[in-house]
Amino acid sequence: MGVLLLRNVSFTDGRTGLDVLAQGGRIADIGTALAAPEGAEIIEGRGCLLSPPFVDAHFHMDATLSYGLPRVNESGTLLEGIALWGELKPQLTQDALVERAMRYCDWAVAKGLLAIRSHVDVCDDRLLAVEALLHVKQRVKPYIDLQLVAFPQDGVLRSPTALGNLQRALDMGVDVVGGIPHFERTMADGAESVRLLCELAAKRGLMVDMHCDESDDPLSRHIETLAFHTQRLGLQGRVTGSHLTSMHSMDNYYVSKLIPLIAEARVNAVANPLINITLQGRHDSYPKRRGMTRVPELMAAGVNVGFGHDCVMDPWYSLGSADMLEVAHMGLHVAQMTSQSQMRSCFDAVTVNNAKVLGLTDYGIEVGRPANFVLLQARDTIEAIRLRATRLAVVRNGEVIARTPAATARIELSGRSSDIDWSL
Ligand SMILES: [Zn+2]
């Protein structure tokens, strides 16, 4: 492993003018004007932001890059997306799944996204996608931490073989227990699915991450049940409620009781801004609800809130490019998190907060930790979101694994020409 010295970088906490030395795959020193060891590769940071890698707390790698197969989602709704995925599932092959996932992982590396939690559908009795993504997980291990969630897309109670398949997937090495209570046949079945899946996770010592209340139904109550079983079973800090979009539509009085229960149980919340803003509110005329969960209120109550990408070019979403800054940008707008501290929180939501959701140890730029980071063409985290900053260099275990040339533009107007500087 080589030696790498980054000169004059800024940190996400506002410190500037620092050098970072990576040696033997780990961060060996952080300071000012560090001496370059013999043979070190030197990257001039020029005041740019050095961030820990981006982390995606919610993704579907088994469906990614399948846009248009076998057809596109005409209504744009969640339910047509699920139906479309059901049409595609019997046609899936292992090779195609692996090839698409590996391509997506290349995109992720280029964007400095080096840890991903992906749900994998276990409702296909062949468990083809599980096998494919376990294979991908091993292949990308040198450069991406890929965590897998056993996700019963068709409902663990509603689909007759789902529970058995889910347990088989866990036996095969899938890391996290998933669920989808709002898709079960009744509210009571949804609550029952939360109980049995949390008990299964407690028995196996695993984390839980459920698609929870992904609807505009103000009476959907599965997050309450999830928080209840989390505290009952002592799973505090190991459980995540993904989406929680119904909270957008809930009665304010009820939410004033609910959020403290989520905080007490230390249940993580993951919003998926790009997907929530496109899939929710589809049955509204005007006014049309945004549908994203109550991010600033959850954060203010001390709940760990992450942002996920959820989908890229699949039955539910036709855009995306593994760019977590685009996710943060959308989250900031949808939640109207426009104060300086709130904008910085949106950057945390795609880095440190998501790292906490995944339970990543050794995350962050500190001496002794793995030398994993991204050099962004921006001076601070707010500018990084504003510009969806270029990833000048992506470093994993002290090695540069991706580079992108700096974004530049030159204007040529009559009488004058100049290079554009996008900073204030
Ligand atoms: Zn999802």
pTM of the model: 0.97
Which pLDDT tens digits describe the chain residue by residue (424 residues)? 689 999 999 999 999 999 999 999 999 999 999 999 999 999 999 999 999 999 999 999 999 999 999 899 999 888 899 899 989 988 889 999 999 999 999 999 999 999 999 999 999 999 999 999 999 999 999 999 999 999 999 999 999 999 999 999 999 999 999 999 999 999 999 999 999 999 999 999 999 999 999 999 999 999 999 999 999 999 999 999 999 999 999 999 999 999 999 999 999 999 999 999 999 999 999 999 999 999 999 999 999 999 999 999 999 999 999 999 999 999 999 999 999 999 999 999 999 999 999 999 999 999 999 999 999 999 999 999 999 999 999 999 999 999 999 999 999 999 999 999 888 7
For residue 79, the model assigns a pLDDT of 87
Q: State the distance from the centre of ligand 1 to the C-alpha of 413, rounded, in angstroms.
A: 47
Q: State the distance from the centre of ligand 1 to the C-alpha of 411, rounded, in angstroms.
A: 42
CB of 310 within 8 A of CB of 62? Answer: no
For residue 358, the model assigns a pLDDT of 98
For residue 314, the model assigns a pLDDT of 94
CB of 134 within 8 A of CB of 170? Answer: no
Q: State the distance from the centre of ligand 1 to the C-alpha of 272, rounded, in angstroms.
A: 8
Q: State the distance from the centre of ligand 1 to the C-alpha of 86, rounded, in angstroms.
A: 15
Start-to-end Cα distance in the chain: 39
214 catalytic residue (yes or no):
yes
Q: State the distance from the centre of ligand 1 to the C-alpha of 365, rounded, in angstroms.
A: 29
CB of 218 within 8 A of CB of 251? Answer: yes
Rounded to whole angstroms, the Cα distance separating 111 from 323 reads: 6
Q: State the distance from the centre of ligand 1 to the C-alpha of 41, rounded, in angstroms.
A: 40
Q: Active site residue: 44, 80, 214, 264, which one? A: 214
For residue 78, the model assigns a pLDDT of 86
- Judged by DSSP in three states, 121 sits in strand
Which has the closest alpha carbon to 140: 170, 174, 169, 114? 114
Please name the residue that has the structure tokens 């006014």.
Answer: 287
Instruction: Identify whether 273 is preceded by a cis peptide bond (ω within 30 of 0).
Output: no
For residue 260, the model assigns a pLDDT of 98
Q: State the distance from the centre of ligand 1 to the C-alpha of 417, rounded, in angstroms.
A: 47
Q: State the distance from the centre of ligand 1 to the C-alpha of 36, rounded, in angstroms.
A: 45
- Judged by DSSP in three states, 236 sits in coil
Q: Nearest 5°: CA angle at 28, between 24 and 33?
A: 130
Joined together, the tokens standing for residue 382 give 């707010």
Joined together, the tokens standing for residue 74 give 């005409």
Q: State the distance from the centre of ligand 1 to the C-alpha of 244, rounded, in angstroms.
A: 11
Q: State the distance from the centre of ligand 1 to the C-alpha of 242, rounded, in angstroms.
A: 7
